[in-house]
Homo-oligomer: A and B are copies of this chain.
Amino acid sequence: MKSELRVGVAGLGTVGASLVRLLRRKADSFAARCGRPVTVTGVSARDRSRDRGIDLSGTAWFDRAEDLAVSSDIDVFVELIGGDNGPAEASVRAALAAGKHVVTANKALLARHGVELARLAEENGVSLAFEAAAAGGIPVIKAVRESLAGNDISRIYGILNGTCNYILTRMEQEGLDFSECLADAQRLGYAEADPTFDIEGFDTAHKLALLTSLAFGNEIDADAIYIEGISSITRADIEAATELGYRIKLLGVAQKTDSGIEQRVHPTMVPRASAIARIDGVLNAVAIDGDAVGEVVLVGPGAGGNATASAVLGDIADIARGLAIPALGRPVGKLSPYKAARMRMHEGGYYIRLAVYDRPGAFAEIARIMAGEGISLESIVQRDRTRRVGDQTPHGDTPQPVILITYETTEAAVKRALATISAQNVVAGTPQLIRIEKLG
């Protein structure tokens, strides 16, 4: 058996503590699989005195992650601090420069500095591994980078944020409002006190940026991602989706188009019968469309201490076994520059919910404007079921909800049409717009 692999763990929150615990409990079985013992020889965290339920008395303690990163007593530096700068960034850079392998779960850091860090790893002949950064326990990084290496991928998409999926699932299953579900998610620890990062889609965007690079071989560009969160989704949208045979999911989608790569995060109508529609609660799922394999879908826990630690352990096992592969699947010099497709060029179907004033000709006006933009309507549903579309009996000035489903069209056409409709004084408030994703 080869010599011991020595691991330093920076950040002892839920994932860090789980990792230390698992590495100890599984010392023998993990060594059998890796062909050598793997031991935690050093740790670092902010507060030394905090009780984490693990005995750290025999393990070297470092107050500063940067010091652990360059310690001569570690071979692998595991960064679980979080954040796209500060000690996380500094310690990862220091570790790579010192010739240590790095394993990280830090999507924010990689979304911002991934290419640079991959280059640093390459220059120093070490691994930069991040299976835990994209969909928690789901082995999607390895699947895209290695197993599906023979595929030209046309699209990769998924449910990458458990908080959002939990909220949307409960809204649908229990007929609740967004705010009620968010409050519950916070109470159960599925959402942060400040939930913006999750519910507004930024977390999904960071993960998507990594998957995009691996799938298409381009440089990471998280800033180019079109992002909409789920806070605008109402019960009316969820009910309409159900009625129309869809479910609403927050998807991250990266897709090759003729004009470049689309990266988008937004609430999405997915057909009820699709695999992705059936992912409930805090689960994550990623679907990969490859030209050889067809579609592969991976489902599992996207967060949680042990599940995330499982992904970190997979990366450590690779390093212990001597498997060296470029962080982004190919040498940094072989990555292509990211070429963004413009969001207004996006093609797809649209769900549009309007609050239409009950005036003669209002419908005709809306239909005329849509037709003027070349948009064909698949269906028009008036949500007040006691009335039929086109009824023009006076009803006071209360706007009536009307839902349009378009056939495939462009984002630009839809946006222009909605701007024109809004200017005509036939609808109240801002129209709701949810994109429909075409799934096989």
Contacts and interface: CB of A to CB of B under 8 A. Distances in A.
A293 B307 contact: yes
- Chain B CB within 10 Å, residue with most, of A290, A293, A312, A323: A293
A275 B151 CA distance: 26
A19 to B, nearest CB: 9
Given A318-B146, A322-B324, A151 B299 contact: no
A174 to B, nearest CB: 16
Given A217-B32, A310-B151, A275 B299 contact: yes
Contacts of A349: none
B147 A139 contact: yes
Nearest to A138: B296
Nearest to A297: B299
- Chain B CB within 10 Å, residue with most, of A143, A304, A331: A143
Contacts of A331: 35
A252 interface: no
A316 B150 CA distance: 9
Chain A contact patch, size range: 35 or more
A241 interface: no
- Chain B CB within 10 Å, residue with most, of A291, A299, A318: A299
Interface stretch (A22-30, A51-59, A355-363): A22-30
Given A294-B301, A321-B325, A309 B150 contact: yes
Nearest to A23: B150
12 contacts: A30-B150, A32-B217, A146-B317, A147-B311, A149-B314, A150-B314, A150-B316, A275-B278, A275-B299, A291-B306, A294-B306, A294-B307
